[in-house]
Amino acid sequence: QVQLVESGGGLVQAGGSLRLSCVVSGRTFSSYAMGWFRQAAGKEREFVAAITWHGSTYYADSVKGRFTISRDNAKNTGYLQMNSLNTEDTGVYYCAVQIGGSSLDRFRRERYSYWGQGTQVTVSS
């Protein structure tokens, strides 16, 4: 059993920042990639960012230059630093774990095996 718990969401004004965290517990893996996805009301869940065990990073074009993904393997914790937030960043943010996979798989929601419950991020104008 694997549990992922996100935290750090909240309400912020446009232009502000938030830092999300995701703690992975339960069954351990020798290595895994971690991804962040988000889902706005009435829309499909979309890729935001991902990071491999060794620190290779991937970003959606919409967040490049504003968001930074990182991780602390010793703590089994991942982070998503979000700066210059705008109203289009509003949604529920989910972290997810991917075992194995290729570079292309980092962007694909269906390639992630374990998911957290999500944390709400609301950006006001």
Phi, psi for 24 (deg, rounded to 5) = -105, 130
How does pLDDT run along the chain (125 residues), one tens digit per residue? 899 999 999 999 999 999 999 999 998 788 999 999 999 999 999 999 999 999 999 999 999 999 999 999 999 999 999 999 999 999 999 999 999 889 999 999 999 999 999 999 999 99
Q: CA–CA separation, 121 vs 92, rounded Å?
A: 6
Report the sign of the C-alpha dihedral through residues 12, 9, 94, 74, in that order: positive
Q: CA–CA separation, 60 vs 8, rounded Å?
A: 20
Tokens of 110: 């269906």
101 Cβ neighbours under 8 A, 6+ residues apart: 33, 111
